[in-house]
Amino acid sequence: MAKSYFGAVDEYGFERHEDFDYGSYEAFMSNYLKVLASRAQKWAILLGDDGKSVKRTTTVKRYVRKGIPSEHRPSVWMAISQAEIMKEQSPDLYQKILDGPFEKELVDLVKTDLPRTFPDNIYFTKEANHQTHLFNILIAYAHNNRVVGYCQGLNYIAGLLLLATKNEETSFWLLKVLVEKILPDYYTKTMDGLIVDIEVLSELVKSKVPDVHQHVINLGLPWAVITTKWFVCLFAEVLPIETVLRIWDCLFYEGSKILFRVCLTLIRQNRQKIMSCNDFTSLAECFKSIVKDYSALHCHEFMEKIFTVPGSLSNSTIIKLRERFAKQRREQQQKEPPR
């Protein structure tokens, strides 16, 4: 293979696999580095010399959509998501929980997943220190929110927060704001919010891309099978990392509606590919490939698309659909008591 300017490990510590396509990546980065440089300048002016905390204004929203420079992500995520306020209200909370004691059952659950989180990331090896930080974040959160405890999937979110912020406590607060303020009940024991949101997405696909919706149903692949990981991991471990972080920029500002925009973009812009699958296996493979292709990698263009490709999507539509499917679910559960 030709020598590349880019090494065997990416800037977040992930090993690049043998089949990593350096050519495409270089083509992408040569362009994206220019974007990053220009955004860095604009953010420097916005934030000023004293590094003041940003407010939620339309200018900031526009800036966030174009990407937060990685060095500002920790503070800007904290500010725009209101995690900062939560932290100010209980500044000692994190340390206090970590003083213990911990429940053995929760400790065992979390410990099982420590070596199974990003094993191909150099910061998450046994010798590096991120496994300890990850343990602290997850165990603290499990004790802080007993309704959620530990849900698999949170390990990837907390792990990526840690890689992006390099700070344990910041990661804890961002995890807390995601689970409690930004997302409906995705991670509780019954995962009701997740199941409802998957139905909401299915309904949105049905109205916005009806032929794809019908085709996918005809081939016997439920939307939940395709999208559970998308929602649970907020695209971590699904899309390329730079794209995930750009999505999270908007997620922290604009909320969970962004997730539907991303899903709908992936589905609509790959309409041809999906429609040309004529059996179950090729369809399943198709959904694996579209999250890794050229368009998913080109995060700047991808993030522009999520605001145009799906068409209009109002908060009230999402709220109405969520209410409708939540109600349906409750009625169903009353009819057939749980196993």
Partner 1 sequence: MATNRSGAAQRPNGAPQTKVCQFKLVLLGESAVGKSSLVLRFVKGQFHEYQESTIGAAFLTQTVCLDDTTVKFEIWDTAGQERYHSLAPMYYRGAQAAIVVYDITNQDTFGRAKNWVKELQRQASPSIVIALAGNKSDLAAKRMVEFEEAQAYADENGLLFMETSAKTAMNVNDIFLAIANKLPKSEGGGSAGAGGARRLGDAEQARSSSCCK
Count of CB atoms situated within 10 Å of the CB of 190? 11
Say whether 14 sits in a helix, a strand or coil.
strand
Q: Measured from the CB of residue 238, what is the shortest distance to partner 1 in angstroms?
A: 9
Considering beta carbons, is residue 287 or 302 the nearer one to partner 1?
A: 287
Reference 121, options 109, 111, 110, 133; nearest CA is 133
Reference 77, options 43, 49, 54; nearest CA is 54
Q: Measured from the CB of residue 189, what is the shortest distance to partner 1 in angstroms?
A: 5
Considering beta carbons, is residue 61 or 111 the nearer one to partner 1?
A: 111
> Beta partners for 14?
121
Reference 26, options 48, 1, 53, 47; nearest CA is 1
Q: Measured from the CB of residue 303, what is the shortest distance to partner 1 in angstroms?
A: 24
Considering beta carbons, is residue 151 or 200 the nearer one to partner 1?
A: 151
Gap between the Cα atoms of 292 and 19, Å rounded: 12
Q: Measured from the CB of residue 279, what is the shortest distance to partner 1 in angstroms?
A: 7
Q: Measured from the CB of residue 155, what is the shortest distance to partner 1 in angstroms?
A: 7
Q: What angle do CA 83, 86, 89 make, to 5 degrees?
A: 150
Considering beta carbons, is residue 212 or 221 the nearer one to partner 1?
A: 221
Considering beta carbons, is residue 76 or 200 the nearer one to partner 1?
A: 200
Q: Measured from the CB of residue 115, what is the shortest distance to partner 1 in angstroms?
A: 5
Considering beta carbons, is residue 84 or 203 the nearer one to partner 1?
A: 203
Q: Measured from the CB of residue 139, what is the shortest distance to partner 1 in angstroms?
A: 16
Alpha helices per DSSP H over the chain = 22-47, 58-65, 73-80, 83-89, 93-98, 104-113, 130-144, 154-165, 168-177, 192-208, 210-218, 223-232, 241-254, 257-269, 271-275, 280-289, 294-297, 299-305, 315-335
Considering beta carbons, is residue 4 or 281 the nearer one to partner 1?
A: 281
Considering beta carbons, is residue 117 or 144 the nearer one to partner 1?
A: 117
Q: Measured from the CB of residue 120, what is the shortest distance to partner 1 in angstroms?
A: 9
Binding region for partner 1 (CB under 8 A): 112-113, 115-119, 151-153, 155-156, 188-191, 195, 220, 222, 224-225, 228-229, 232-233, 237, 279-281, 284-285, 288, 339
Gap between the Cα atoms of 157 and 141, Å rounded: 12
Which residues, at least 6 apart from 134, have a Cβ–Cβ distance to it below 8 Å?
Answer: 114, 117, 124, 155, 158, 159, 162
Q: Are the C-beta atoms of residues 114 and 154 closer than 8 Å to each other?
A: no
